Amino acid sequence: MTSSPLFSSTDPPVEHLLAVDAGLHTGLALYSRDSKLLWYRSHHLADQQKLKRLIATLLRSAPLPTHIYLEGGGPLAELWQRETLKLERVFVQLHAGQWREQLFYARQHNSGRVAKQNALKMATGVIDSLSHKKPTGLRHDTAEAILIGLYGLLDLGWLECWPPKKEEH
């Protein structure tokens, strides 16, 4: 008996988007091509070695992320970028203002505190709409990763609009 590959050479690879809010507390969210939020979490990383191991695991574990959208800069972002490009995946680095301007009204992100409060509210709505899980207590880094992913879905055209249009019956 032979095992069949996950996809044949004629099938396109299954695409997934990994959203990252890079920092000491790293927020993560993984979306499928059909705009489903598969999981979200936060990791506290004490040093760069732990981050390197986390990056290697995430980028090589099923479901494989084909697109990485990352908010952040400096050495932490460089670790993500280096590994992503080595694996020939799409890497998009952005700053908070980019996704906040796309998803929020100006009054919703006129200060960091206000932006984080609104991120928590909006991320809960994303979980309600795009995940099979019920929202639980979110850290702001996880909420922001969820929204970075939402921005990525819209940017890639995997999701037409936010909030999604109601289907008529």
Supply the mean pLDDT for the chain.
Answer: 88
Angstrom distance (rounded) from CA 28 to CA 25: 10
Q: What is the pLDDT of residues 83-114, one digit of tens each?
A: 999 999 999 999 999 999 999 888 888 887 88
Name the CATH architecture for the domain at 16-156: 2-Layer Sandwich (3.30)
**β-sheet bridge partners, residue 29:** 19, 40
- What pLDDT is recorded for position 73? 92
Domain spans of the chain? 16-156
Enumerate residues 6+ apart whose C-beta is below 8 A from 121: none
> CB 162: neighbour CB atoms within 10 A?
19
Q: What is the pLDDT of residues 12-24, one digit of tens each?
A: 678 999 999 998 7
Specify the higher pLDDT residue, 168 or 110. 110
Angstrom distance (rounded) from CA 108 to CA 119: 9
- What pLDDT is recorded for position 7? 43
Please say if the pLDDT value at position 47 is more than 90: no
User: Mean pLDDT throughout 147-163?
Assistant: 95
Cβ(74)–Cβ(95) below 8 Å: no
pTM for this structure? 0.88
Please say if the pLDDT value at position 1 is more than 70: no
Cβ(42)–Cβ(27) below 8 Å: yes
Q: Which percentage of the chain shows pLDDT scores above 90?
A: 67
Q: What is the pLDDT of residues 49-85, one digit of tens each?
A: 999 999 999 999 999 999 999 999 999 999 999 999 9
